[in-house]
Amino acid sequence: QVDLVESGGGSVQTGGFLTLSCAASGVTYSQYCMAWFRQVPGKDREGVAAITMDGVTTYAASVKGRFTMSQTNDLQMNNLKPEDTAMYYCARRSGGSCAGVIGIATNLRQYYWGQGTQVTVSS
């Protein structure tokens, strides 16, 4: 069993920044991909950042250049925009590749999930 706990969400104005953290426990030494997803009510959950155990990162086009995911699973979010407003979830998927993580999540059951942390960006 893998437990993930997010923290660091909050409310900021446009152009502001936040750092989200993800504390993981119960993690085995097998290969895995760590990722951050976000979801707004009524829309699908989407992957916005992912990192392999080797430190290879991938980002959604909408956040590339503004968000940075570290190997400690933190998500540094700069130059935030109102469209970044969402519930943000930390997730872990077994396997060494993060292929297919970015974009709309099609199979939520392949991931372990945290409870989420809310990010609100006002204009």
pLDDT of residue 68: 98
Per-residue pLDDT of the chain (123 residues; tens, 9 = 90+): 789 999 999 999 999 999 999 998 886 667 889 999 999 999 999 999 999 999 999 999 999 999 999 999 999 999 999 999 999 999 999 888 999 999 999 899 999 999 999 999 999
CA–CA–CA angle 106, 31, 98 (5° rounding): 35
Q: Are 17 and 122 in contact (CB under 8 A)?
A: no
Tell me how crowded residue 49 is: count the other CB atoms within 10 A of its CB: 28
E-assigned strand segments in the chain: 3-7, 10-13, 18-25, 32-39, 46-52, 57-59, 67-69, 75-77, 86-94, 103-104, 112-113, 117-122
Q: Are 84 and 16 in contact (CB under 8 A)?
A: no
